[in-house]
């Protein structure tokens, strides 16, 4: 006498297994929160764009005028990437040519805490660094658009 035994899973177990497998496959490298955050924000420009939006810049021209001098092709790419990640939204404010105003979503605004942690760390561990718009004795600090060295700008008046 021969018996054939078949083991099946309940629908609930099957859905859990499928969801877990689908979620794991959707990550580029791993399920690590840091790795996935870096996949979105880990280049040298994205967090600076977020910083500028947090400080009130809204248009492409305003973002392009930042002291770090982001190349315009990279700015366009980063804005698209941040928008597709749900960090930035764009709204047309002019028809011909079409121009957009950029704002942070709640998800993007939450990055303010991350940037503040960078400010605290940088001020503590990198001599001479300041927070944006903070004035050391004798003037403001602005980054040169042509290189990363800092220069002092004397204030008028």
Please report the pLDDT score of residue 4 as a whole number.
56
Task: Enter the tokens of residue 15.
Answer: 């859905």
How many Cα atoms within 13 Å fall on the side-chain side of residue 50? 28
The overall average pLDDT reported for the chain is: 79
3-class SS at 70?
Answer: coil
Compute and round to an integer the Cα radius of gyration of the chain: 23
Asked if residues 134 and 127 have their Cβ atoms less than 8 Å apart, the reply is: no
Whether the per-residue pLDDT at 27 is higher than 90: the answer is no
> What confidence tier does 8 reach under pLDDT thresholds 50, 70, 90?
low
> 88-97, 123-132, 143-152 — which one is most confidently predicted on average?
88-97
Please report the pLDDT score of residue 60 as a whole number.
97
105 CB burial (10 A radius; 0-12, 13-18, 19+): middle
Asked if residues 112 and 54 have their Cβ atoms less than 8 Å apart, the reply is: yes
Higher pLDDT, 6 or 131: 131
Partnered with residue 142 across adjacent β-strands are: 151
**Nearest Cα to 51, choosing from 101, 107, 104?**
104
Quick count: other Cβ atoms within 10 Å of Cβ 64?
15
For residue range 39-53, what is the model confidence (pLDDT) as tens digits?
Answer: 999 999 999 999 999
Q: Where do we find the tokens 């040298």?
A: 44
Please report the pLDDT score of residue 148 as a whole number.
36
3-class SS at 88?
Answer: strand
Give the mean pLDDT of 50-72.
Answer: 96
């Amino acid at each position: 006498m021969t018996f054939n035994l078949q083991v099946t899973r309940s629908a609930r177990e099957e859905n859990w297994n499928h969801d877990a497998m689908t979620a794991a496959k959707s990550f580029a490298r791993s399920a690590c929160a840091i790795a996935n955050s870096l996949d979105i924000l880990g280049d040298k420009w994205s967090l600076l764009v977020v910083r500028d939006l947090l400080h009130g810049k809204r248009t492409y021209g305003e973002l392009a005028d930042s002291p770090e001098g982001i190349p315009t092709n990279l700015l366009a790419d980063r804005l698209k990437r941040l928008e597709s990640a749900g960090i930035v939204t764009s709204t047309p404010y002019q028809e011909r040519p079409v121009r957009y105003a950029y704002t942070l979503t709640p998800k993007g605004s939450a990055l303010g805490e991350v940037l503040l942690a960078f400010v605290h760390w940088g001020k503590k561990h990198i001599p001479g660094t300041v927070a944006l718009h903070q004035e050391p004795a004798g003037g403001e600090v602005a980054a040169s658009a042509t290189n990363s060295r800092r220069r002092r700008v004397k204030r008028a008046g």
